[in-house]
Amino acid sequence: MHKPIFDMDEIRSKFPALTETDASGKSFVFFDGPGGTQVPQTVLDAMADYFRRANANHGGRFITSRRNDEIIEQSRVAMADFLNAASSDEIVFGANMTTLTYNLSRVIGRRLGKGDEIVVTRLDHDANIAPWAALEEKGVVLKYADFQTADCSLDFEHLASLVTERTRLVAVGYASNAVGTINPIQKIAAMAHEKGAWLWVDAVHFAPHGPIDVQALDCDFLVCSAYKFFGPHVGVLYGKHALLKEFEAYKVRPANPEPPGKFETGTLNHEGLAGVSAAVDYLAGIGKQYAACLEEKGLIDAYSGRRKLLKQAMYLIAGYERTLFNYMLNEVQKISGVTVYGITDPAALNKRCPTLAFTKTGASPQTIATRLGDQGIFVWDGNYYAISVTETLGLEKSGGMVRVGLAHYSTREEVDRFIAALKAL
């Protein structure tokens, strides 16, 4: 493994949690990023500052309320930059991805009836399945696209065979939070649109690991959660403006009748929104600082300003994480009794997020996660709500898999510590 492109001490110094230790002074290894990432000091500061300077409800005729409204708009602009949305009014905030998806599935469901079809995939988190399955009570038919169990890649042919003129919506994950598979969203969008269906993309797992461009993807909706990309617990929905405008929201009468406000039920997490802007700025800062390290500069030619910095950052992060993941995957595969799930072909690792899922003979996922947790190495076990994945792999009854998630602040030393601990189990 060659020298990392990032100055890891510098990157890590921005995250206060990364200096936390146990009682004996041993540092923690945060490989639980797929469940939620750590936040930089600038995010903490922005949230504290919100309470100091701008703590008010929106629409008031006084300074703290005006500051509050400015912060909300800044976070919309920040998320539009992050996702390359055409405009900030295509950004809807909510509690989290699951709540936004339930809200919008009900809204979209108003337009659907008996015999209309929705296609979901077995590779998805249940938050991108259950809200659509809830429409079955209206007579909507749900169809499930399979994945190849050998490498956990989406069975595109099967998906394509399910999408017909009766399909009104295709709901698919950008990347699997269980096994890391990255799906060909652009291709799926073209296929869905050819049949006249909308495309709903769950980008929660992908967001901290690579660049997202909703215009290039041509998805109709895309959801993500800021707590997975170094921000606070806030959910974000992108929707094409024309669709957000035409869909009828479930809203209280005095609330804004226009998008995005009409989909934002009640008072938002304003301090969280201050943190969302700061998280986006943190990432843009990486783009600025390490711009010279991006080899394929053509990748970012289409962007300017903060959007360019963000794309730069996310390509750099993807590159850094891939190298580290490659190393971890190699080392884990050398350990006897370990079965890795998902893509392992070195030539295809650009189709996998740095998320490792494995089982090991002789120890349940729960035991492994507990033993590693006791040593300050934080990994997850079970199904992480991607229950269709563990069911399809036949692992649900045996405790699922252990999931190890790298982030751009993860280091080679941490991977070595994890590997040594796993070997010693």
Ligand X SMILES: Cc1ncc(COP(=O)(O)O)c(C=O)c1O
Q: Does 235 bind ligand X (CB under 6 A)?
A: yes
CA 379 to chain centre: 17
**Count of residues in contact with ligand X, rule CB under 6 A:** 14
Distance CA 395, CA 415 (A): 25
127-138 exposure pattern, b = at least 16 Cβ within 10 A, e = fewer = bbbbbbebbeee
Least Å distance, CB 321 to ligand X, is 16
Residue type, 287: G
Task: Please report the beta strands in 26-132, taking only residues with DSSP state E, as ranges in sequence order.
Answer: 29-30, 91-94, 117-121
- Closer CB to ligand X, residue 97 or residue 283? 97
Tell whether residue 71 is a contact of ligand X (CB under 6 A): no
The CB-of-234 to ligand X minimum distance in angstroms stands at 9
Q: 78-117 mask for ligand X (x: CB under 6 A)?
A: ------------------xxx-------------------
| Contact between 32 and ligand X per CB under 6 A | no
Please, what is the minimum distance in Å from the beta carbon of residue 7 to ligand X? 29
Nearer to ligand X, 309 or 406 (CB): 406
> Pattern of binders to ligand X over 297-336, x per CB under 6 A?
----------------------------------------
Nearer to ligand X (CB atom), residue 275 or residue 287: 275
Closer CB to ligand X, 309 or 393, in the complex: 393
Left (φ > 0), alpha (ψ -120 to 50) or beta: where does 54 sit? Answer: alpha
Q: Which is nearer to ligand X, 127 or 197 (CB)?
A: 127
In the complex, the smallest distance separating the C-beta of residue 142 from ligand X, rounded to whole angstroms, is 17
When computed from its CA atoms, the radius of gyration of the chain, rounded to whole angstroms, is 21
State in angstroms the smallest separation of the CB of 305 from ligand X.
28
**3-class secondary structure, 323:** helix
Told to check if 171 binds ligand X by CB under 6 A, we report no
The residue written with tokens 């989406």 in the block is 154
Closer to ligand X by Cβ: residue 287 or 365: 365
Question: Applying CB under 6 A, which part among 73-81, 125-133, 286-294, 368-376 lies near ligand X?
Answer: 125-133
* Nearer residue to ligand X within complex by CB, 176 or 312: 176
Say which DSSP state 260 is in. Answer: T
> What is the distance between the alpha carbons of residues 13 and 417, in angstroms, rounded to a whole number?
20
* 192, 219 Cβ separation under 8 angstroms: no
Q: How far is the CB of 385 from ligand X (least distance, A)?
A: 6
| Contacts (CB under 6 A) with ligand X, residues 132-151 | none
The CA distance from 401 to 173, in Å, is: 19
CA 220/CA 237 separation, integer angstroms: 10
Residues with Cβ within 8 Å of 69's Cβ and at least 6 positions away in sequence, in order, are 58, 59
Residue 205 as a binder of ligand X (CB under 6 A): the answer is yes
Counting Cβ atoms within 10 Å, is residue 345 exposed (0-12), middle (13-18) or buried (19+)?
A: exposed
Question: Rule CB under 6 A: is residue 204 a binding residue for ligand X?
Answer: yes
Question: Nearer Cβ to ligand X, position 167 or 388?
Answer: 388
**84, 153, 225, 359: which one binds ligand X (CB under 6 A):** 225
Q: How far is CA 242 from CA 57, 78, 249, 414, in A?
A: 28, 21, 14, 46
Nearer to ligand X, 98 or 410 (CB): 98
CB of 48 to ligand X, least distance (A): 23
3-state percent breakdown (helix, strand, coil) of the chain, nearest 5: 45, 15, 35
177 binds ligand X (CB under 6 A): yes
Distance CA 52, CA 64 (A): 9
Taking a C-beta distance cutoff of 8 angstroms, is the pair 118, 142 a contact? yes
Single out the residue of 122, 125, 306, 408 in contact with ligand X (rule: CB under 6 A): 125
**208 vs 287 by CB, closer to ligand X:** 208
Q: Which residues bind ligand X (CB under 6 A)?
A: 34, 96-98, 125, 127-128, 173, 177, 202, 204-205, 225, 235
